[in-house]
Amino acid sequence: MKEIERKFLVTSTDFISESSFSNRIVQGYLNSHPERTVRIRIKGNKGFITIKGKGNESGTTRFEWEKEIPVAEAEQLLPLCEKGVIDKIRYEIPLGKHIYEVDVFNGENNGLIVAEIELKNENDTFEKPNWLGKEVTGDNRYYNAYLSNFPYKDWN
């Protein structure tokens, strides 16, 4: 029940041609407190509820519990969420033994593109594609719960 991931900004849209799959994701937060987040997500035609704990000092590891729920239930729960629903297209790009998930944000976070890679442990090595930019692991501004409250369009 641990999530180990690193986050990066993306410098170009070259990843799109390398993508094996893409899906629209709409999500909201029943609770976006930094100590614990409770997220409702619709990914394609599936619904999910996810609980995440606070990250460790490096920001790479944190508790994560997720359960699939009927999409109709997720649709009913989204209106109960805090303001600031996240809307994005997620692209999956296989590279070596990993899969990068690249999120292209829409709506109030339009213009932001962030890549994540899940790892087996914090010292796991991985290939870095040419479109991968600055690492932002541990920078709370790039986490969806933060973006739902402080959208990218309002950054200086």
Domain ranges of the chain: 2-154
Q: How far apart are CA 96 and CA 81, in angstroms?
A: 37
Q: Is the pTM of this model over 0.95?
A: no
Give the active site residue among 29, 91, 100, 143.
29
From 38, 113, 123, select the one nearest 77 (Cα to Cα).
Answer: 38
The β-bridge partners of 91 are: 22, 102
Report the pLDDT value the prediction gives residue 76, as an integer from 0 to 100. Answer: 98
Report the pLDDT value the prediction gives residue 55, as an integer from 0 to 100. Answer: 85
142 noted as active-site residue: no
| Residue labelled with tokens 């999409």 | 71
Report the pLDDT value the prediction gives residue 1, as an integer from 0 to 100. Answer: 83
Q: How far apart are CA 5 and CA 28, in angstroms?
A: 21
Write out the DSSP string of 41-101: EEETTEEEEEEEE---TTSSEEEEEEEEE-HHHHHHHGGGSPS--EEEEEEEEEETTEEEE
Q: Is the pLDDT of residue 34 over 90?
A: no
Where does the pLDDT of residue 104 fall: very low under 50, low under 70, confident under 90, or very high at 90 and above? very high
Pair 138, 60: CB distance under 8 Å: yes
Buried b (16+ CB within 10 A) or exposed e, 100-111: bbbbbbbebbee
What CATH fold (topology level) applies to the domain 2-154?
Hypothetical Protein Pfu-838710-001 (2.40.320)
Report the pLDDT value the prediction gives residue 156, as an integer from 0 to 100. Answer: 80
Q: What is the pLDDT of residues 107-149, one digit of tens each?
A: 999 999 999 999 999 999 999 999 999 999 999 999 999 999 9
What mean pLDDT do residues 81-94 have?
Answer: 97
Q: How far apart are CA 146 and CA 150, in angstroms?
A: 6
Report the pLDDT value the prediction gives residue 58, as an integer from 0 to 100. Answer: 86
Q: What is the pLDDT of residues 5-31, one digit of tens each?
A: 999 999 999 999 999 999 999 999 999
